[in-house]
Amino acid sequence: MLKRQSQWPVIGLSEGKSPAARRRVPSYKQTAIAVLLLAAFPLLLTQCISPSIEDPFSYPFIKLTHIGRLEGKPFSNYRAFYVLSEDFEPVIHTPEDADEMRTILRFASDLSEKNGVPWTHFVDVNTLAPAFISDDPGLKLRTTQMIEDLAQMTGRGDDCELHLHGGMDSRLIDYMRAKERLKIKLEGIETAHVSRQRKSFFFNSFNRDGYRNTVASLTYGKRLLEDSLYGGKSSVLGFRPGGWDHGGNAEETFIYFNALSDAGLAFNSGLSSGVFGGKDWRVGNKPGRNLAAVRVGANTIFEISPTSGPGGYVNPMLDADLTKLADSPKDEIRVIVSVFHLSQLQKSAVETDESISGPHLEDMRQHLERHFAMVRDLREKGVLYPITLRELYALMAANGS
Ligand SMILES: [Zn+2]
């Protein structure tokens, strides 16, 4: 077993002793030991109850790696790469929701062009479903237009990769299957244990449905994005797990990477440690420790993790000292990956999500504008080189790191 088991302390109970032994008056020494044990008991108890923190970066099949400094490249003299990633998961129930998201995409695209900082969007294909399977022609049309906007942004240098919370909508899979039946590769392990450590709204649902459905979701999801955003070219190579959930231990994480490999995906961005949402929860790792090569059979999947930070990860909405994070040794260029959700700029998100009680929508937009301006400034100073995950993956694959 890969998971460490905690041992319960053996506490001296009077069970099984003779009545005479039970009646015996304890000596001073025995009393002192008992008092000490009682005092230490709460400490022992907490140590035994709290599970050991799983750190995927220490799993035997995940090897930390780095990007060596290459001469004569546009980025050769920068201190670090900067990836601005976002999970694209708009709430789309009405045609107006799609229109609102189109406005947000225009805002995001203008910021990118003005400041020379591309986005890497992890697109939750289930949120695009109305464009393919809605019975409402208005909703269908406007969701399609939103996807076309995203495709145009991709054409101008943004990167779109796959994201899913749980399995792909079965109606969406049926729609894709009717167009073209894809082969579902099942070389990975077909059985999985129930995830215990994290509150899992990704891996558990996949476990319930089985490995085949996991790979089917990833395979059809990848193809749906390629058809919609890349003119049918097999360009979608990366995945980010919804809820940062790749399972709660090494065994499950290995199955997860097998599923990515079987679906033809080449990189992942989303390892996390600790219990989801708990005090010890952390997404990704610090620069210098957030890149890894994951061996799956004959394949290597690269992990390009978000940069851990307050609240879980570096987030354009929260101030972080990017200059300090960009510190790299002479022979390597480190990578900072931040995470945002453009759907946070939707009115419905503010109205329904009680956790967003602080910044108003306009404040959030201004915060994002300031973030872009800061990254642009740091680029001009030779500190940060903005890049997409696709480009970064290509560098790592070419390096053979
Ligand atoms: Zn998500």
- Say what the pLDDT of residue 288 is: 95
Task: Tell me, in angstroms, the distance from the centre of ligand 1 to residue 276's CA.
Answer: 14
% of residues, the chain, pLDDT over 90: 64
Q: Note whether 134 and 175 are same-domain residues.
A: yes
Q: Note whether 46 and 59 are same-domain residues.
A: no
Residue 249 has pLDDT above 50, yes or no: yes
Of 60-64, 184-188, 393-397, the least confident: 184-188
Q: Note whether 92 and 40 are same-domain residues.
A: no
Task: Tell me, in angstroms, the distance from the centre of ligand 1 to residue 87's CA.
Answer: 5
Of 1-15, 198-212, 250-264, the least confident: 1-15
Cβ(259)–Cβ(215) below 8 Å: yes
Sign of the CA dihedral running 14, 20, 25, 27: negative
Residue 79 has pLDDT above 90, yes or no: yes
Q: Note whether 13 and 98 are same-domain residues.
A: no
DSSP string, 284-346: SB-TTSSEEEEEETTEEEEEEPPBP-GGGS--TTS---HHHHT---TTB-EEEEEEE-GGGGS
- Say what the pLDDT of residue 251 is: 84
Average pLDDT over residues 275-280: 78
Task: Tell me, in angstroms, the distance from the centre of ligand 1 to residue 33's CA.
Answer: 53
Q: Note whether 40 and 168 are same-domain residues.
A: no
Place of tokens 């008992």: 34
Task: Tell me, in angstroms, the distance from the centre of ligand 1 to residue 95's CA.
Answer: 22
Task: Tell me, in angstroms, the distance from the centre of ligand 1 to residue 353's CA.
Answer: 15
- Say what the pLDDT of residue 56 is: 93
Task: Tell me, in angstroms, the distance from the centre of ligand 1 to residue 86's CA.
Answer: 9
Task: Tell me, in angstroms, the distance from the centre of ligand 1 to residue 338's CA.
Answer: 14
Residue 210 has pLDDT above 60, yes or no: yes
Query: What domain range is 39 assigned to?
Result: 1-50
Q: Note whether 80 and 41 are same-domain residues.
A: no
pLDDT in tens, 330-342: 999 999 999 999 9
CATH number of the domain bearing residue 59: 3.20.20.370
Cβ(75)–Cβ(81) below 8 Å: yes
Task: Tell me, in angstroms, the distance from the centre of ligand 1 to residue 58's CA.
Answer: 25
Q: Note whether 12 and 116 are same-domain residues.
A: no
Task: Tell me, in angstroms, the distance from the centre of ligand 1 to residue 241's CA.
Answer: 7
Cβ(182)–Cβ(226) below 8 Å: no
Task: Tell me, in angstroms, the distance from the centre of ligand 1 to residue 313's CA.
Answer: 14
The two most distant CA atoms of the chain are separated, in Å, by 87
Average pLDDT over residues 292-308: 95
Q: Note whether 116 and 199 are same-domain residues.
A: yes
- Say what the pLDDT of residue 307 is: 97
Q: pTM for this one?
A: 0.83
**Which residue in 241, 223, 232, 362 sits closest to 301, CA to CA?**
241
Residue 344 has pLDDT above 50, yes or no: yes
Task: Tell me, in angstroms, the distance from the centre of ligand 1 to residue 160's CA.
Answer: 14
Task: Tell me, in angstroms, the distance from the centre of ligand 1 to residue 73's CA.
Answer: 34
Task: Tell me, in angstroms, the distance from the centre of ligand 1 to residue 240's CA.
Answer: 8
**Average pLDDT value over all residues in the chain:** 84
Average pLDDT over residues 132-148: 98
pLDDT in tens, 127-136: 999 999 999 9
Q: Note whether 38 and 184 are same-domain residues.
A: no
Place of tokens 């041992």: 7
Top-confidence residue, 127 or 202: 127
For 9, the token pair is 């302390």
Task: Tell me, in angstroms, the distance from the centre of ligand 1 to residue 121's CA.
Answer: 11
- Say what the pLDDT of residue 166 is: 86
Q: Note whether 221 and 271 are same-domain residues.
A: yes
Task: Tell me, in angstroms, the distance from the centre of ligand 1 to residue 44's CA.
Answer: 38
Task: Tell me, in angstroms, the distance from the centre of ligand 1 to residue 16's CA.
Answer: 56
Q: Note whether 5 and 67 are same-domain residues.
A: no
- Say what the pLDDT of residue 161 is: 98
Q: Note whether 18 and 119 are same-domain residues.
A: no
Number of domains in the chain: 2
